Every structure is written in structure tokens, then in C-alpha cells.
Amino acid sequence: KARVLARRALQIDPCCAAAHTSLAYATAHHDWQWADAEAQFARALALDPGYAHAHHWRAHLLVAQQRFDEALQAGQRALELQPLDIIINVHMAWHHWLARDAGAAIEQAALTADLDDTDHWPPFFHGMACTLAGRAEEAVDALRRSCALSKGNAVMRAGLGYAYAFAQDRRA
């Protein structure tokens, strides 16, 4: 459905960066046609280099291809364009975590928590990054907070279970 709507938008306005971005996102995440998605993102960014979500979603494509340096650059550009966007901020923590940069992930998670201390994702990535850094107790504490904020979301609970295992804590 996303592809159909994006193509319809492009029929109306072939120069719509948001439509090219939406088509690229659908092509990357649903079709796994990464070269086609990259071309759509390139078209979107040529039309509007200041469109933060094109940079952000392109970063997701780059992460999927394990092109972490490029993903971090694209994500950083999105963050420069939309510094208060919670989703872009937390995704930068995620990208740092996936790139195995615990310090940067923890720092970005903290910055994101400063923007919104009620969101469950910043403590999730903080905790997961703490496992990378070997900080087991801090990981468990952060992931407990994530579980509480999410009201028991399964992903947050799985992260907490991982942290307990990492800490060799069998009390959970």
C-alpha cells in the first residue's frame, strides 16, 4: 500500500522528495531491493537535501547493509536537520549500538533521554550498550527502567532478560 501511495504522489508531483523517500523506504524494508532503494533516496536528497527523514531512513538502509560509517554520517545529518526529533535521536543510539560503539550509544541514549525521559527506547539502548561496555549492573538498571516505561513491552523484556544473563543474575 505504501508503494502504491508513493507512486500516486509521484504521478502528481514527480519532484516530491517525501514521496521518493517513502518509495525508497518501502523498497528497502519490504522488497529488500537495496540498489533501487538507494537510487530513490539519492533522488529524494537531490530534490531536497534538507529533508531529514530521507537521511534518517537512508541510514536504516545503510545499517541493513552493515555500512555503519555511512549510516552514522546519514543519521548525523538527519540529527543536524532535526535535533529535537526523538525518533532520529534514539535511532542514532541504535546505530551506534549496532556499530558496536558502546560509548557513543550510551552518550546518545542519555541525550535522547534528556529530550524525553518518558520514552522507553533511550534506556533500552543505554542498557544494551552497557552490556557491550561490560557494565552489567548499569545495564540491568537501565533495562528495568525501559520495561517499566514501556509497561512490559516484549522487546524491552527480552533486553532485560539478556542483561540478567549477561550479569549472571538468576533472580529474574
pLDDT of amino acid 107: 97
- From residue 163, alpha-carbon distances to 62, 77, 82, 143, 147 in Å are 27, 32, 32, 7, 12
CA 26/CA 4 separation, integer angstroms: 10
pLDDT at 137: 93
CA–CA separation, 39 and 43 (whole Å): 6
State how far the Cα of 17 lies from the Cα of 48, in Å rounded to an integer: 6
Q: What are the residues whose beta carbons fall under 8 Å from the beta carbon of 74, sequence distance 6 or more? A: 55, 56, 58, 59, 62
Condensed to tens digits (0 to 9), the pLDDT of residues 84-117 reads 999 999 999 999 999 999 999 999 999 999 999 9
| Cα–Cα distance, 25 to 40 (Å, whole number) | 9
Q: Which residues of the chain have pLDDT under 70?
A: 169-172
Report if pTM > 0.95: no
In this predicted structure, what is the pLDDT of residue 59?
96
